[in-house]
Structure 1
Amino acid sequence: MLDQRLIAATLRLILRPSRPNLTREEVFNWFQARLNRPPEAYDIYKTAKEFYQLGAFSRAQLCLQQYVTLPGATLPGRHLLGYCYLNLGESERALREFKKCVKEGYHDDWQLVVELTIEIEAKRRLESDMTSSRLMTTDAV
């Protein structure tokens, strides 16, 4: 398990209210200062996974968004990013991540891709029907 001091320090960094989203450079600089070396992809993934397991999905998302851009990033990191988006109610972003996983060979995500596609299309149809219904009601008045 990750050093609890590293998790606590990461929480303080990411929870700063004045900075809801950190840049890639800020994340890497922070990790480098804490680790006394440049961070490796695994350092960021491990921290993200800890956040996810704690239910801190937005914090895990922040780390994973940086992680997936790194050389050496693995598909489980992108997969976990998809689940972060799902837990944050961002189905369309989750779908994009799961599609990338499938395209890159992580075929276990096929079912998620199908289910999310159906769910998102049903939501769009419902919203469209509601909009049409409102327009017809307005026209009748």
Structure 2
Amino acid sequence: MMATNTPQTVLIIEDDPIIRNILQTNLTSQGYQVLAAEDGLKGVQTAKEAQPGIILMDIRLPNITGWEATRRLKLEPKTARIPIIVLTAQSTSQDLQYCFESGCDAFMTKPIQFAQLFTKIEMLLNRSFDHPPVAK
């Protein structure tokens, strides 16, 4: 039996408990179910098990970086289609290049503008439903 992809579930992969909490509070208030992981490895594992509708990924994470976690998720058939929004304090053109090379779907700089974040989440969730995953 395949895990059901729950569109309204957001996985936050963020090591800073304050930022994680702020994201969780804002997302919950918008009606999203929220899962959280505090490092890259745990984030990859949680994504595989829970099949969230979307992932918010920090870059500077313990164990493996957000870039590496994103690459692993995009290579894994079970998680390859889950949209990933990278959240980072760095916003150089090199960061942007890494973002898309690793396979993330969108990029946002911290501090987070929540109206903009919710718009991106909705846009990516709607896009992923226009193209349902192909059964393997």
Give the TM-score of the pair, scaled to structure 2: 0.29
Higher helix share: 1
Give the TM-score of the pair, scaled to structure 1: 0.29
Q: Which has the higher contact order (CA 8 A, sep 6+)?
A: 2
Higher strand share: 2
